[in-house]
Amino acid sequence: MTLNRDLLAASGTTVKQPKLRRADGTAVRALVVDDESTLTDLLSMALRYEGWEVRTASEGRAAIQVAREFRPDVIVLDVMLPDIDGLQVLQRVRNDGHETPVLFLTAKDALDDRIAGLTAGGDDYVTKPFSLEELVARLRGLIRRSTLVVADADDPVVTVGDLQLDEDSHEVFRDGVSIELTATEFELLRYLMRNPRRVLSKAQILDRVWSYDFGGKSSVVEIYISYLRKKIDAGRPPMIHTVRGAGYMLKPASL
């Protein structure tokens, strides 16, 4: 299908919306699946402008593999694909245990496709040609209804109990007292504070804070947790807790 000018017309200036981020503070992940490269390029550009991380696929089987590896927070999925159709892609994604919100792209007159998509477990649909602004708004709506992401209303301060972290100034305070942290300690604390009362495994922490595989050297996590405890919890009710055999959790101190 050739891109319609109506789709391109909505790529102008829009009202700035609060950015959405995952609960751990990282960018929302979107997977765009369509065999029209012009369309996927345009959508990718629009979603990256939102601050999202975007991957694309032009075939159904490739989309399934990307979904397994990338673990997107939302999927834009064309019904008509060269190998297997979007309904089959959705079924396999759901069979993998992922409840990722899915927005279908359908032909303007394909009522049966729209009904089939929603019946199969799709969350929304947009017909081609479509308004780019409307599509992004619909995706934001799906994301907001998800428990995976939070709205970033331009407030850089993260607060858990009496602990505050300013993502802009890199300042940290506990009960009003300033705490000096190294860059790595700050990133580790930010990850813990973005996931309060949630157990985070050493593998998750390695992947998020150090961004690459340490080859099983999880002792680096133990070392930096120890550093943080000496600075955050020393002489105070503890906030950083070890969950034996599972990982670490930060929560407001019990007074």
Nearest-angstrom CA–CA distance, 122 and 111: 14
In a shared domain, residues 124 and 164: no
In a shared domain, residues 220 and 114: no
Contact 48, 30 (CB under 8 A): no
Chosen domain end from 87, 112, 146: 146
Residue % of the chain over a pLDDT of 70 = 79
Over residues 42-72, the pLDDT tens digits come to 999 999 988 899 999 999 999 999 999 999 9
In a domain, 23, yes or no: no
- Mean pLDDT to the nearest integer, 146-166: 73
User: Which pLDDT belongs to residue 58?
Assistant: 95
- Mean pLDDT to the nearest integer, 27-35: 93
Q: In this structure, what CATH number is given to the domain that contains residue 246? A: 1.10.10.10
Mean pLDDT of the chain: 81
In a domain, 162, yes or no: yes
In a domain, 166, yes or no: yes
N-term to C-term CA, the chain:
63
User: Which pLDDT belongs to residue 151?
Assistant: 53
Quick check: 2 pLDDT over 50?
no
What range defines the domain where residue 226 resides? 157-250
Quick check: 237 pLDDT over 50?
yes
In a shared domain, residues 217 and 132: no
- Mean pLDDT to the nearest integer, 25-48: 91
Any residues with CB less than 8 A from the CB of 87 and at least 6 apart, and which? 79, 116, 117, 120
In a shared domain, residues 38 and 114: yes
Nearest-angstrom CA–CA distance, 233 and 253: 9
Chosen domain end from 126, 146, 166: 146
Q: In this structure, what CATH number is given to the domain that contains residue 42? A: 3.40.50.2300
In a domain, 122, yes or no: yes
Least trusted range by pLDDT, from 86-95, 115-124, 232-241: 115-124
In a shared domain, residues 86 and 134: yes
Which DSSP helix (H) or strand (E) runs through 32? Answer: strand 29-33
Split into its structural domains, the chain has a count of 2
In a shared domain, residues 116 and 206: no
In a shared domain, residues 113 and 40: yes
